[in-house]
Structure 1
Amino acid sequence: MQTIFLNSAELDQAVAYLKSGQVVAFPTETVYGLGADATNEEAVKKIFEAKGRPNDNPLIIHISNIDQLERYVQYIPDVAKTVMEHFWPGPCTLILKKKGPIAPSVTGGLDTIGVRMPDHPVALELIEKAGIPLAAPSANSSGKPSPTTALHVKKDLDGKIQAIVDGGATGVGLESTVLDLTDPERPTILRPGGVTSEELEEVLGKVWMDAHLSDASVGPKSPGMKYKHYSPEKPVWILPASLEQTREVMDQLEKSGEKIGFLVSDEWFEQLSNKNRKGHTLGEKKNPQQAAARLFSSLRALDEEEVSLILVEPYSKVGIGTAYMNRLEKAASRIVGIS
């Protein structure tokens, strides 16, 4: 199969592909999604095949208006209406009880479905023109860093999907927050993402965090969190929070023959750079939004460098830093100082 690049003025062609049961990658405000008609089982299966994604890992559907939501969920509780009022369109996925003609593979055998309305003009126009909900996980090979540009998609999936709609680089850089509202009295974050727990609590009051986020022995319930994720080919280690300790770690690793790639804040970058190291910056330490937006693209860039190990600076688990650390911990094989 030849994968075709389309621009935002060629959405009619993308719609034709989707309606014929093909898979099309498209931009959202979070990462690029790999879309197929969520009501067409054969089309949805092509997503799993292209990504190499396990079949028991459910997908999120993307919609462009509330009328579509009403077709595919049993009811919309008041708490969901509040979230939609404040955060839709946007990077927040709601887990609700499903109904309607959704392909079985989308929900992985569950009686619930994840739904979101992306905050990207190309994504919204594509869904609206297609007139169907799009099942769309991140448009990468399963387990690899999620794609934030069309070229990232091409590297992973060229020849495996019908088309890629190029809408430029994404903004948020991390996937959506997944909020379970099946118990309206206990809104629970299954996956931290572009909408923070602090933001949700401002409008909902108490919000819970799913047990698996703090206890690795508990199985995750969220799409995209069941298996290893976000890892480049090169091993990723999480650095200590101390600059001095980090400097010592890097020196020791270089003495042992490692070729270091590193990903740190602006404040650390100049302190750690030398001619033997390949480095990228995450932006200002006080701006974790920049770090979140740059994480996946920088991991991909360092993976292309002649390095044997990628070292990444941790951020505080506050606000978007919670989602940043969630993805980094999934990508990493070691936290320095912890065996």
Structure 2
Amino acid sequence: MILAGNSAESIAQAAQVLATGELVAFPTETVYGLGADAGREDAVAKIFAAKGRPSDHPLIVHVADASGVAHFASQVPAFASRLIEKFWPGPLTLILHRRIGVAAAAAGGHDSIGLRCPAHPVAHALLVACAQATPAVIGLAAPSANKFGRVSPTTAGHVRAEFGDDLLVLDGGPCQVGIESTIVDCTRGVPVLLRPGVLGRAELEAACGERMRNADELDATPRASGTLESHYAPTARVRLMDAKSLQTALDLLGAEAAGIATYSRAILQTRSDKVIRRRMPDDAVETARQLFAVLRDFDSHGVRLIWVETPPDEPEWEGVRDRLQRASA
């Protein structure tokens, strides 16, 4: 069931559903999340079951504001506090040391926990309503509202296509960011970038005052959502290649090309009317906004192959490159 997210009645209804230990999907600025009370093991278990997700794969917990951090985290390094001050609410998740006895199921049993404060007004209203409900829900564990490993949803319709009409979905319109949050691990004494997003490495470093390390520099095992080698994958097989190779492949297949979709900044030519072509924007932010919707659209046409032009090797494209590399793994 899809309800208008800008309705106070809808928000109140969703908060009551969550307070009973059931699931609700809601919009954030990044993607739609599948939410449950982060403090209830039985509710969190329903997320893992619905997604088909391993129970040791940690979830991100969403809080209404920075004051919610103290409930879940046992310590917050100074550089993490600076990141919170600069980027919350917004598309940034921080991995922090978890308080003993709090949200163990949501954390996948790890001694750390991922926390985020979403910027979307519907998400914020829902979190506030949950905190005011009886019993109060302090935070919502909410991975992307899709089956495990598949393309994340950026509209309410995408969520319904994944889970049907029985799930309550708050409709907040299309997500403005379009790819998941940047994840920074703050448990190793220095900031470690686990998953890039729309926030650039340079602006993260400027805000926290330290260089962003990569996980492989510290021989660190990622302990966060969306860090598996293969992830965000459509049903069709994704292949990355440069624009010249894309055009050469289409030329070789000629009029016989079928079951193929292309997503490229270059304007590609084909002699087949069975090839679906979409133009990738020249701007990284706009490409991120539409990326998952484009992949889902290709799947809806039943294509077997999705050929994507490899994004530029430039800092602002890091988040898009990450998602496409995992989708093609």
* TM-score normalized with structure 2 length: 0.91
- One-letter amino acid matched to 1:15: A
Q: Secondary structure at the match of 1:90?
A: coil
Partners in 2 of 1:276 and 1:45 — Cα distance? 43
Pairing partner for 2:304 from 308, 314, 323: 308
- Map 1:1-12; keep pairs closer than 5 Å: 4-8=1-5, 9=7, 10-12=10-12
Distance in 2 between residues matched to 1:78 and 1:308, nearest whole Å:
48
Deviation for aligned residue 1:7: 1.1
Is the CA contact 1:181–1:187 (under 8 Å) kept in the aligned structure 2? yes
Cα deviations by residue, 1:274-325 (Å, 9 ceiling, x for unpaired): 6331112222x2x111111111110000111142211111112433411111
Number of the residue aligned with 2:134 = none
**Cα distance 1:273–1:43, how it changes in 2: closer, same or farther (>3 A)?**
farther
The counterpart of 2:176, out of the listed 171, 174, 181, is 171
Identity, % of aligned pairs? 38
What is the CA–CA distance in structure 2 between the aligned matches of 1:212 and 1:253, rounded to whole Å? 43
Contact 1:92-1:194 at 8 Å conserved across structures: no
Cα shift at 1:107: 1.1
- Aligned 8 A contact 2:258 2:275 in 1: no
Instruction: Give the letter for the 1:173 counterpart.
Output: G
**Residue type at the aligned position of 1:236:** V
What is the number of equivalent residue pairs in this alignment? 319
1:134 is aligned, of 137, 140, 150, to: 140
Residue 35 of structure 2 aligns to a residue whose secondary structure is strand
Give 1:312's aligned amino acid. V
In the alignment, what sits opposite 1:48? 48
Structure 1: where are the runs of 5+ without partners? Answer: 334-339
Runs of at least 5 residues in structure 2 that lack an aligned partner in the other structure: 132-137
Which residue number corresponds to residue 279 of structure 1?
Answer: 277
Q: Tell me, yes or no, if the aligned pair for 1:263 and 1:279 is still in contact at 8 Å.
A: yes
The answer to whether structure 1 residue 331 and structure 2 residue 327 are counterparts is: yes
Tell me whether 1:183 sits opposite 2:188 in the alignment: yes
Match of 1:222 in 2: 224
Output the CA distance in 2 between the equivalents of 1:36 and 1:29: 18
Q: Structure 2: how far apart are the matches of 1:18 and 1:51?
A: 17
Amino acid corresponding to residue 171 of structure 1 in structure 2: Q
Pair 187,105 (structure 1): closer, same or farther in 2 beyond 3 Å:
same
Structure 1 counterpart of 2:246: 246
CA distance in 2, matches of 1:316, 1:273: 27
Counterpart residue identity of residue 147, structure 1? P
Contact 1:212–1:220 (8 Å) recurs in 2: no
Q: TM (normalized to structure 1)?
A: 0.88
Q: Is the partner of 2:287 in helix, strand or coil? A: helix
Task: Decide which of 160, 167, 180 is 1:162's aligned counterpart.
Answer: 167
